[in-house]
Amino acid sequence: MTILLHLSAAIAVVSTILVITRLNAVHALLYLVVSLLAVAVVFFLLGAPFVAALEVIIYAGAIMVLFVFVVMMFNLGSEIVDHERLIFQGPIWVLPGLLALLLLLELAYLILVPATANFGVAMIGPRQVGIRLFSVYGLAVELASFVLLSGLVGAYHIGRRYRAVPEERGR
């Protein structure tokens, strides 16, 4: 278990270093996804499976899709053809794929060897988290919903202004 923890921590650190040194934003995003997946494995090994699932679903899923969407919006023009060509010829995806494969092997090992499912650390599952979240932290849940609403309204407002300006220039 210690070796698995150290391996996923090393993958997280290496891919994070690669994130902040890449020149192309899409390559950096690939490594960022791998880094978040590695941190999710660390969460799982520390006995927090609910947070590990949320890390994969929300961080590596939803938020990274948002990033990819915006980066793809910026990359308009003729250079996009060269980028598409690079995807198929270059070994860009090989290293992130390799790191993700290591994480997949760790996960397969954890699933296939049930004797290691209990590592001596007590799991805190979604049940305890949910009970405590909606009893003690009820007010904080409401405040988090306010934060999300303000993010929604703010993003809509800024995005709407961004869209409305070229129409006025057109007239």
Partner 1 sequence: MTGTASLQFGLMLATVLFLLGLIGVLMRRNLIFVLMSLEIMFNAAGLAFVVAGQRWQQADGQIMFLFILAVTGSEVALGLALALAARHHFGTLDTDLISRMRG
Catalog residues that contact partner 1 under the rule CB under 8 A: 1-2, 5-6, 9, 12-13, 16-17, 19-20, 25, 28-29, 32, 35-36, 39, 42-43, 46-48, 50-51, 54-55, 58-59, 62-63, 66-67, 70-71, 73-74, 119-122, 124, 128-129, 131-133, 137, 140, 144-145, 147-148, 150-152, 154-155, 158-159, 161-162, 165
Question: Where is 138: in which H helix or E strand?
Answer: helix 138-170
Shortest Cβ distance from residue 75 to partner 1 (Å)?
Answer: 11
Q: List the one residue out of 72, 78, 90, 73 whose CA is nearest residue 26.
A: 72
- Supply the angle between the helices 25-45 and 64-74 in degrees, to the nearest 10: 180
Nearer to partner 1, 2 or 78 (CB): 2
Smallest separation, CB 81 to partner 1 (Å): 21
For the four alpha carbons of 55, 58, 62 and 66, in that order, the dihedral sign comes to negative
**Nearest CB to partner 1, comparing residues 85 and 132:** 132
Question: How many Å apart are CA 163 and CA 3, to the nearest integer?
Answer: 51
| Structure tokens belonging to residue 124 | 């805190």
Minimum CB–partner distance for residue 143 and partner 1 (Å): 8
Structure tokens at 168: 């006025």
